[in-house]
């Protein structure tokens, strides 16, 4: 009696082995072309990417400062009294 496994039980290597070779062969050239296009774009306009990185860093810093100030501004009482009438 052979134990059957579901797709969740298989490892990534077994899942990869189940994919037909023709499907993998057709994906590789597209991925290589996309990678080359991204590399050319980054090399061709470094000032644009430096500006994007600086803007992202500034934005993250401002959001962090806003959240930190907001957390300090919200004071919660040390003791909460709840009255109940029966």
**Dihedral of CA 34/36/39/45: which sign?**
negative
**Distance between CA atoms of residues 32 and 26, nearest Å:** 11
**Dihedral of CA 45/51/57/60: which sign?**
negative
Question: Tell me: the pLDDT tens digits for 9-31?
Answer: 788 888 878 888 777 777 888 88
Question: Tell me: the pLDDT tens digits for 26-67?
Answer: 788 888 888 888 777 777 788 888 999 999 999 999 999 999
Tokens of 9: 């039980």
Secondary structure (3-state) at 67:
helix
**Distance between CA atoms of residues 53 and 47, nearest Å:** 10
């Amino acid at each position: 009696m052979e134990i059957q496994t579901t797709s969740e039980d298989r490892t990534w290597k077994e899942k990869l082995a189940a994919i037909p070779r023709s499907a993998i062969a057709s994906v590789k050239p597209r991925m290589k072309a996309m990678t080359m296009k991204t590399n050319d774009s980054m090399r061709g306009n470094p000032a644009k990417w430096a500006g994007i990185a600086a803007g992202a860093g500034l934005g993250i810093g401002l959001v962090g400062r806003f959240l930190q100030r907001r957390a300090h501004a919200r004071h919660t009482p040390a003791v909460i009294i709840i009255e109940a009438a029966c």
